[in-house]
Amino acid sequence: MKRPFSFTHVTRVTQAMARLLLAPILLLQARRTARNTPRLDPASGAEQGVITGIAPEFRILVIGESTAAGVGAIAHAEALPGFLAGALHDHLQRSVAWSVTGRNGATARRVTTDLVPALNGTTPDLVVVTVGINDLLRRRSLERWAADLAELITALRTRYRTAGVIVAGMPPVHRFPAIPQPLRMVLGAQARAMDRTMREVAREYGAFHVPMDEAMARDRELFARDGFHPSPAGYRVWAHDLARAVSSPAAYSAQLSRSAL
């Protein structure tokens, strides 16, 4: 039986041909970018904290790769977990406790095998997952990416059965200042494909996908000096976007209500 015409198939073939033709240039640009991009340290300081307010306390856990580790910020309180706790405190009018477990360079699979088993402490009401950029840089296929992400979500939902799980969307790589064209275009196209896969896997496995606002990448002040990771200002904007999604009736109002019981 003849397969129906598919624009998606044509697009994939075209992109594959373009990557093949550009391969020597892409390889050279990738090596230069890796050599010239400044290496920033993860955030330091306490890996947990509390924004005091009205009881009952809402507990969040941020887990993942370099953005969970706070690369681009000095302290976790000035990175994603601290700013997210503050934004949720404002939205929910409740006390919010935060904790973070991150590793620079971690893939989704590495988070599942290394970070999740080492988790301890109190049970969170909400888990925020930041993964994907290292899977992109390691050229993980969409099929393996989907399988690894499904395994990670399953591991977290098995460990924390009453917690909501948010999967933060892929960043707008096609606008990263540190990456030259045409490498930025190629990586950006793959990142968008990974984000679509992320949304589908999250829906299937009971998590909630929150896309990153592309407008963030238009402001150079929201990038750290490496042109790759968020600056503290970038983490703040990202945290407020996540908090709005968590607090919206369409997303986690039911989960937030349950956690208040």
**Contact by Cβ (8 Å): 88, 60:** yes
pLDDT averaged over every residue in the chain: 84
Confidence category of residue 20, pLDDT binned at 50, 70, 90? very low
* pLDDT on residue 240: 95
pLDDT digits (tens, 9 = 90+) for 212-231: 988 877 888 999 998 889 99
Predicted TM-score (pTM) of the model is 0.84
List, in order, residues 6 or more apart from 107 with CB less than 8 Å away.
65, 131, 134, 135, 138, 140, 148
The enclosing H or E element of 60 equals strand 58-64
**Residue 22 pLDDT exceeds 90:** no
Question: What pLDDT does residue 182 have?
Answer: 80
For residues 82-108, give the mean pLDDT.
95
Q: Judging by DSSP bridges, how do beta strands 48-51 and 96-102 pair with one another?
A: antiparallel
> Identity (one letter) of the amino acid at 2?
K
Query: pLDDT for 150-160, tens place per residue?
Result: 999 999 999 99
pLDDT at 168: 97
Q: Where are the alpha helices (DSSP H) in 50-182?
A: 66-69, 80-92, 108-110, 133-137, 142-159
What per-residue confidence (pLDDT) applies to 33?
Answer: 59
Q: Rounded to whole angstroms, how far apart are CA atoms 86 and 242?
A: 12
Q: Is residue 2 very low, low, confident or very high in pLDDT (cuts 50, 70, 90)?
A: very low
Range in 42-56, 134-148, 170-184, 188-202 the model is least confident about? 170-184
Question: Percent of the chain at pLDDT above 70?
Answer: 80
How many helices and strands in the chain, by DSSP H and E? 9, 6
CB contact at 8 A, 246 and 126: yes
Residue 40: pLDDT band with limits 50, 70, 90: confident
For 25, phi and psi rounded to 5 degrees?
-70, -45
